A and B are shown apart, each in its own frame.
Chain A
Amino acid sequence: MSALSLLLAQADPSRVGVGHIQGGWEFVTASYVLTLLGIVLYATSLWVRRRKE
């Protein structure tokens, strides 16, 4: 990247950070869905094994 394009990038407000992470809800959703899925799957596995015994 040349010095000019670097300067232009800095001048572009859309490329200047705001100092904190924005968005990221897809990661939050993935985490909560995975937690729910884990609970359901493990509870089911325990239920199936208890029925077998």
Chain B
Amino acid sequence: MPNWLANALLILPAGLLIAICFKRDLIEIGWKVMAVQAAIMLPVAAYLGLVWAPPEREMGDVYRIIYAHVPQVWMALLGVTLNFGCSLAYLMKKSWTADALAEASAEVGLYFGIVGVTLGAIWGKPTWGVYWTWDPRLTSAAVMLIYYTGYLAMRRFTENPDTRATWSAALGTFGIVIPVTVYFSVVWMKSLHQVQSTPKTVDPQMVFALRWAACAFLCLLITFTYQRYKVARAALAREVAPPEALSGPPPSSNDVAKVAV
């Protein structure tokens, strides 16, 4: 299968995100397209990883965990990077949209991070002989999970929406150090974890299967983040709405959107 196909499928969600930036109305159709694309691509990704891709020279079939582990860790890093962008945006513009999106991206990033790190531990047992070791990559990933758990806990325990948004934006801005450290830890420090591979040194079938899986998980990340964003927006609308708005008849969905902006 040609690599351009996987690249084209990766460009689709990225292109859709850029289009949404210019035309907000596209978002309601866009997330549905992403959800359908994820639902189609994920089973195919499992087939490509488990059956179609060849076994690895030294790790045999155990390496097939890569097609689930690596894309999910990438999505975790993408999620927390998005959290950084939204935190910065909130500090500059005081936008509730940025605050809700920061909350959504932190939770979705944490979800992918927990699954990704757990899968890494499962992979560690047959290849390293242990589930866990205090290696720089593993330690920095664990710090990332603890940091974003703390971030979400802080949001949960701060009642005032304004204070919560400001404090979490400050925390999210500093948090960018962690994903950067996770990514470069294998380059900067001596690590048991392997360094990043390049397509030049990997079998083309393996590259294709990994890109396909990455695209499938990217669609899933977008779907989950948007749904979680809607939950955060609805909660914010309830919190920042004036008391008289809550005592009257239930507002239409357009009214809720206006109050939350």
On A, residues with C-beta under 8 Å from B are: 19-25, 27-28, 30-32, 34-35, 38-39, 42-43, 46-47, 49-50, 53
Task: Give chain A's interface secondary structure class.
Answer: helix
Q: Is B59 an interface residue (CB 8 A)?
A: yes
Q: Select the stretch in B159-167, B168-176, B230-238 that faces chain A.
A: B230-238
Interface residues on B, range: 20 to 34
CA distance A42 to B228 in the complex (A): 10
Q: Is the CB of A50 within 8 A of B118?
A: no
On whether A28 and B50 interact (CB within 8 A), knowing A50-B227, A53-B231, the answer reads yes
Q: Is B122 an interface residue (CB 8 A)?
A: yes
Q: Is B72 an interface residue (CB 8 A)?
A: yes
Q: Is the CB of A32 within 8 A of B68?
A: yes
* Set of chain A residues within 8 Å of B137, measured between Cβ atoms: none
Could you list 27 examples of A-B contacts with CB < 8 Å?
Answer: A20-B57, A20-B58, A21-B59, A21-B127, A23-B61, A24-B60, A24-B61, A27-B122, A27-B123, A27-B125, A28-B61, A28-B64, A30-B122, A31-B65, A31-B119, A32-B46, A35-B68, A35-B119, A38-B111, A38-B115, A39-B220, A42-B111, A46-B227, A46-B228, A49-B231, A50-B231, A50-B234
* Set of chain A residues within 8 Å of B126, measured between Cβ atoms: 21, 24, 27
B62 to chain A: closest residue by CB: A24
Listed residue (B46, B50, B127, B227) with the most chain A CB atoms within 10 angstroms of its CB? B227
* Set of chain B residues within 8 Å of A34, measured between Cβ atoms: 115, 118-119, 122
Q: Is the CB of A46 within 8 A of B61?
A: no
* Set of chain B residues within 8 Å of A24, measured between Cβ atoms: 59-62, 126
Q: Is B148 an interface residue (CB 8 A)?
A: no
Q: Is the CB of B119 within 8 A of A22?
A: no
